Chains A and B, each alone.
Chain A
């Protein structure tokens, strides 16, 4: 394990030189102003996403994991410019999304789509499935009416829904079926990049497994790049190629899925992994020993100084409160933002 004191920026620079990156995010920030008092005076800001850099290779799945309030959903939405970023750049297939004008952005949206968390509230209850899936096709002038119907049939086949469901309303479908409609809508225009924002967390496990299967099949067939946002680490173990662990708007650990799961290098990732409930003995052995964290994720308006995780970290020491640690590189691109990997502070290598 080589411990180099390189910054996250340097690491991402290196990765950028590879040409097969579909998505390149650089120092992305999204700050929401907060107001208080009768006159709505600006009181401060919530740094929901605070300087995140990541890259996703073409046809790969990047898993973004974190607890509620970690900024993972804001991250996904800001990458697609569904909320305007405060700073940073997002390149999708070489095109900087942040620079696009309104009109250009609308055109470009056919390349990047999203599947929302709650299948019920993300489908218009007054529209039939046909109208819902047809909307993106119409907006982007896809063929004539007949060609659109053909495409919708093709999409319904793709997500394992009977074709006659085209004429149903969302209220007549089960949760899993609604989510299939959401997926069909997202992939209707053959996008290059799709953000999956907790696509299965509102569903039962038996349905989740079906949806994951469909998502993986579509990815294989069309080479779509996914950003898979979830709080479920065991799920990510099965769907992601690389994963990033987010805490209070910052990535604290990024690496290949194998590497992060077999050797989590940040205390937070380790605690998350240890909290997974398991259904067999092999899994029980595969996860780290149970580690209890103090308290809960702090109010993002009152982030601790230095390392944001130090208020809950079982290993925190003085240096953690002074300055935020940079990303330390372990091996093959596995990085963790923790002073325990700094030679200056590393006393106990087996923490």
Chain B
């Protein structure tokens, strides 16, 4: 049994907007084992960045209304600011999305890297700390050595030169490497990579992803990749969580997901991707629901080609279709939806009668529906 490093349980995040309360994350559950690389895949606006920012504790304007984020057996949401800060960048590190804007343009790469090493875990610097540091400059040489070593690790060919460069002097690929170096400086156990490589050209992206893969393998770091690109997710991760409109709609090991995609959204997404051998599908009609007024039951029902009346009335709780394949869709049956159902009952959400109370009918009916979905 692999050891669970991170577990997000029933996470709900809301934002207050002028148009009302936006329920952006609506009950997200997923797990990450130690040493595993998983991906959170979804299109623009599906809430994947909000999910990881909740894990990092980087969402000042948001209201986390329910849920638990359990990291190494401890609920991060119950920790104090100081305790969370001590973990941020140390235990849990993040590679931000855009290499062009994530580095401070007025500090050299070296200054940004030594700052991480020097001040890690310190929440507030007093002015005296800072002056003392400026006066003594005692161990800067050590930091410098460590930073240059890290730059060399990310395969930057002239680490000394890059160390004293400003971000504008570097190309996109180099900046992405610097960001990776900064994220790995404190040897985190858990790394979140938010769209690494998306802003880069394909040849550079492929190289950066390969490099990241090697680095985390060497360090036995667990990685959660955030990406909109199923092709990238297929290459880098062992397990995929597909997200749509603030909910995880399908979870499966990578190979299983691509061999046997189940949720109509996953299938629509896969068919939309232009391929070399089998053409390009028709895409998915419609667009994301309004988060301030989301559909009551299945959030994908309005765009789903297989939707039935039930889909807009009854919440499609996640159900297991095989050992490690979970899908939130009425087209599929499963016996293990119990836990999730209990959680929803606690919150007084009307989700209809659970499947295990439906009698013998349940054994046959959903199979028929599932077949109908598959053959269309």
Q: A208-B283, A212-B280, A280-B258 are in contact. Are A67 and B202 (CB under 8 A)?
A: yes
| Residues A275-309 near B (CB distance < 8 A) | 275-280, 282-283, 286-287, 290, 292-293, 296-297
> Which residues of the partner chain A approach B272 to less than 8 Å between Cβ atoms?
205-206, 208-209
A286 contact set on B, CB distance < 8 A: 276-277
The interface residues of chain A lying within 8 Å CB-to-CB of B285 are 210
> Which secondary structure characterizes the binding site on chain A?
helix
If A210-B285, A296-B201 touch, whether A278 touches B43 (CB-CB below 8 Å) is no
Complex interface: chain B residues within 8 A of A206 (CB): 43, 268-269, 272, 283-284
With A238-B274, A277-B234, A282-B277 as contacts: A207 and B283 at CB distance below 8 Å: yes
**Which A residues from 188 to 245 make CB contacts under 8 A with B?**
204-213, 231-235, 237-238
Asked if A237 and B276 sit within 8 Å, CB to CB, the answer is yes
Does B61 have its Cβ within 8 Å of any Cβ on chain A? no
Report the separation of the CA atoms of residues A293 and B210 in the bound assembly, to the nearest whole angstrom: 13
Indicate whether A174 reaches chain B with its CB closer than 8 angstroms. Answer: yes
Q: Complex Cα distance A118/B178, Å?
A: 28
Docked Cα-Cα span, A275 to B235, in Å, equals 11
Contact status B201-A282, CB under 8 Å: no
C-alpha gap A210/B281 in the complex (Å): 9
Among B204, B230, B276, B284, the residue within 8 A (CB) of A276 is: B276
Contact of A275 among B206, B228, B283 (CB under 8 A): B206
- Asked if B274 contacts A234 (CB within 8 A), the reply is yes
Query: Contacts A277-B229, A286-B276; is A272 near B287 (CB within 8 Å)?
Result: no
Q: Collect the chain B residues with CB atoms within 8 Å of residue A339's CB.
A: none
Task: Assess whether A213 is in contact with B201, with CB atoms less than 8 Å apart.
Answer: no
Across the interface, A279 reaches (CB within 8 A) one of B171, B268, B270, namely B270
B331 → chain A closest CB, angstroms: 19
> Chain A residues with Cβ under 8 A from B174's Cβ?
296
Q: Does the CB pair A279–B273 fall under 8 Å?
A: yes
Query: Which residue, of B171, B205, B283, has the highest number of chain A Cβ atoms within 10 A?
Result: B283
B105 an interface residue at 8 Å Cβ cutoff? no
Residues of B within 8 A of A282 (CB): 275-278
B261's nearest neighbour on chain A, judged by CB, is A279
A234 touches B282 (CB 8 A): no
Asked whether A176 is an interface residue with its Cβ less than 8 Å from the other chain, the reply is: yes
**A68→B279 contact, CB < 8 A:** no
Asked if A328 is an interface residue, CB under 8 A from chain B, the answer is no
Q: Knowing A231-B202, A235-B274, A237-B274 touch, does A205 contact B43 (C-beta < 8 A)?
A: yes
CA distance A276 to B201 in the complex (A): 11
Q: Quick check: B231 and A277 within 8 Å, CB to CB?
A: yes
Which of B232, B274, B287 contacts A174 (CB under 8 A)?
B287
Q: Is B173 in the interface zone, CB < 8 Å from A?
A: yes
A155 to B206, CA, bound (A): 40
Q: Is A62 among interface residues, defined by CB-CB distance under 8 A? A: no
A234 touches B281 (CB 8 A): no
Q: Report how far A141 CA is from B281 CA in the complex, Å.
A: 39
| Structural contact, A238 and B283, CB atoms closer than 8 A | no
B301 to chain A, nearest CB (A): 16
- Complex: A233 Cα to B173 Cα, angstroms: 20
The reply to whether B276 and A278 form a contact with Cβ atoms under 8 Å apart is yes
A124 to chain B, nearest CB (A): 22
- Mask, A164-189, CB within 8 Å of B = 1, is 00000000001111000000000000
Q: Is the CB of B234 within 8 A of A276?
A: no
Interface string of B195-234 (1 = CB under 8 A from A): 0000001111111001000000000000000001111101
Is B342 interfacial (CB-CB < 8 Å)?
Answer: no
CB-based contact B268/A283 at 8 Å: no
Q: How far is the CA of A213 from the CA of B273 in the complex (A)?
A: 13
**Contact flags (1/0) for A74-118 with B, using CB distance below 8 Å?**
000000000000000000000000000000000000000000000
A312–B173 CA distance with the chains assembled, in angstroms? 15
Decide yes or no whether A132 CB sits under 8 A from chain B. no
One digit per residue, 1 when the CB lies within 8 angstroms of any chain B CB and 0 when it does not, for chain A 255-285 equals 0000001000000000110111111101100
B44 contacts chain A at the CB level, 8 A cutoff: yes
B204 adjacent to A205 (CB under 8 Å): no
A-B contact pairs, 17 of them (CB 8 A): A67-B201, A204-B44, A205-B230, A205-B273, A209-B283, A210-B284, A212-B274, A234-B274, A234-B276, A238-B280, A271-B203, A278-B231, A278-B276, A279-B258, A282-B275, A283-B277, A283-B278
Residues in chain A within 8 A of chain B (CB atoms): 67-68, 174-177, 204-213, 231-235, 237-238, 261, 271-272, 274-280, 282-283, 286-287, 290, 292-293, 296-297
**Interface residues, chain B, with chain A CB atoms under 8 Å away:** 43-44, 171-174, 201-207, 210, 228-232, 234-235, 258, 268-285, 287
5 additional contacts, CB 8 Å, given A67-B202, A205-B228, A206-B284?
A: A67-B201, A234-B276, A277-B232, A280-B277, A296-B171
**Closest CB pairs A-B (n = 5):** A209-B283, A277-B231, A210-B283, A67-B201, A206-B284
